[in-house]
Chains A and B, each alone.
Chain A
Amino acid sequence: MIRWDWIASNVPALVDATIDHIVLTFVAVGVGFALSFGLSLAIHGRRSLGGPITGIAGVLYTIPSLALFAFLVPFTGLSFLSAQIGLVSYTLLILIRNTVAGFDGVPGDVLEAADAMGYGRARRLLSVELPLALPLIVAGLRIATVTTIGLVMVAAVIGQGGLGQVMVRGFNFRNDTAVYTGAVLIVALAIAADLLLAYAGRLVTPWRGSAARGS
């Protein structure tokens, strides 16, 4: 049974938990993206770095999330930092893979034309390669964001879970309403974030799909 009165009386707490959840996600994806982008550029510049970097990101990705958070507690405590270290680690593999694939996917003839017309290295990267890599980069961001929204819930074990906290407390106090409310809000958050990013992605790549729309 859903107790609507519980929800009504806990709106401020739920709002706070949602905001926490969004902040945890936003910071994790933001930092993860910054790191991944730098590492992807390094790989783009030097192919040989690709193996080691994605290897390490892959190892991080395979560590069970619960174990990682527990492992971090002796070092960084039950803190925002512990949560972020875990969350950021999980975004790296997805974001690096997609960003590198995005750069790799830029057609060779486009690069050759850019070189032949006198683009410098940096200018080519910024105004030709990056825009053309955007669709895959945005796709990576969408997956990373949705994944992170789910993972934040797990960070509840170290007291940093946003809406996950609501659910954990619900389990502990046999409060089904709290569990369901937390779950529904997390799903809603994930869907909203995905749609928002998809829309943003279309805004920054106006040339895509234009063929289908025709003249």
Chain B
Amino acid sequence: MPESPRGASTVEFRHVTKRYHAGAKNVPGAVNDLSLIVPAGKICVLVGPSGCGKTTSLKMVNRLIEPTSGQILIDGTDAATRDVIELRREIGYVIQQVGLFPHQTIAENVVTVPRLLGWSKDRQRERAEELLALVGLEPATYHHRYPAQLSGGERQRVGVARALAADPPIMLMDEPFGAVDPIVRERLQNEFLRLQEELAKTILFVTHDIDEAIKMGDLVAVMQQGGILAQFATPSEILANPASEFVARFVGADRGLKRMSLSRVSNLELRRPVTARVGDVCSEARRRALADPFAYLLLVDDADRPVGWIGEDEIPTEGRLTESMAESMSPLLDRRTTLKDALSMLLDADVQAGIVVDRRGAVVGLVTADMIADWMRMSAVPLSGSEARDQAGEAVEA
């Protein structure tokens, strides 16, 4: 078995079903004919209410639970045909309770799988340091501590480091950030996403929190009671086009806002403002401003950086434009600004248009609240009822 970096694997569920005997107690959720493909290097979030079989699905990948029927293929190979111990050592596993070994130091915990694989002591030590640094824990400080001496957030980082130790191509994460407070959770989520940008593992991630699913997932599988896959798509697709009433309810009435927080100014076709430079001839600028439906002229400097708005009626008929003529400014946005932030800033501004600038601060275009609302309408195909439409409408007007 190679111990060098192995990149990522594709994970495919093919008609996977897990049934439990009727009347059996304390069993995890059943799974009903689940088929989906997680492409290599992507984060797929399994999300749904409790008892929807999301954890069961996760645990069938490393065979902590064996499916009743169907197959799970890892890079095309049926997991059921693999030696189970060997298989598990190639799959990282992170759970909510972390499950660190209380009797081992942090360093020992981190290199659990390398130890099982028989790496040399030197190599284990090196790897432990590397991983602790990777998850933001100072190796010299944490190396010799025991899990009981760490905070919840620190323990969770160690859990992630341990799962990454043997550089597995697949990671399974079951509510990994569920047991820490919201502030720490957000930090861990962000750090993990940054980590994933470098590592590009194939990750199956279970949560009951739709916001976490939308934030973490490249793909989101919404599951419902009885282990039925309700929808499998990208987060923005699920928010824009929920496949059923169940999905629409599950993603919540504020899914318009959620969708705006996923979309960025770069998704919009920007409006071209009427601009004029300081020192330009007033009459000519006035003529152009009046010809445009937008009621303001945007005054810019020599480098096309915005100076401020001049109402089209306020532009003198003769003379030249000066900086003092600008009455007000709008919030400056860049292409990476989310639509949610953009809208929020627009609602506060005098002139309800956000000025989009490039990296040098030069004007690129305008964003108005109407444009955001239009984009929301255009990109969503409402489902059967009027409910979805109403919700999207409310979200924008709110």
Contact = CB atoms under 8 A, between A and B. Distances in A.
Interface size class of B (residues with CB under 8 A): 20 to 34
A210 interface: yes
Interface in A90-118: 107, 109-118
Contacts of B98: 109, 113
Interface in B80-117: 85-89, 91, 93, 95, 97-104, 112-113, 116
Contact of B148 (A112, A123, A131, A207): A207
B88 A118 contact: yes
A48 interface: no
A210 B100 CA distance: 15
A132 interface: yes
A136 to B, nearest CB: 13
Contact of A109 (B86, B95, B112): B95
B250 interface: no
B101 A110 contact: yes
Contacts of A109: 95, 97-99
Contacts, number: 73
Contacts of A205: 103
B149 A110 contact: no
A151 B148 CA distance: 39
Nearest to A106: B102
A214 B146 CA distance: 10
A62 interface: no
A214 B102 CA distance: 15
B30 to A, nearest CB: 19
Given A132-B102, A207-B103, A113 B146 contact: no
A110 B146 contact: no
A64 interface: no
A215 B113 CA distance: 26
Contacts of B112: 117
A45 interface: no
A132 B103 contact: yes
Contact of A118 (B97, B113, B145, B172): B113
Contacts of A112: 64, 95, 99
Nearest to A131: B103
Nearest to B88: A118
Contacts of A126: none
B56 interface: no
Interface string A56-84: 00000000000000000000000000000
A211 interface: yes
B62 A113 contact: no
Contacts of A118: 85-89, 113, 116
A130 to B, nearest CB: 10
B119 to A, nearest CB: 14
A37 interface: no
Nearest to B162: A117
A120 B141 CA distance: 32
Contact of A113 (B89, B100, B148): B100
22 contacts: A107-B97, A107-B99, A109-B97, A110-B101, A113-B98, A116-B62, A116-B64, A117-B116, A117-B162, A118-B86, A118-B113, A119-B85, A119-B116, A123-B116, A132-B101, A132-B103, A205-B103, A207-B102, A207-B148, A210-B146, A211-B149, A215-B149
Pairs of residues from A and B, 3 with the lowest C-beta to C-beta distance, nearest first: A113-B99, A109-B97, A118-B89
Interface of A: 107, 109-120, 123, 128, 131-132, 205, 207, 210-211, 214-215
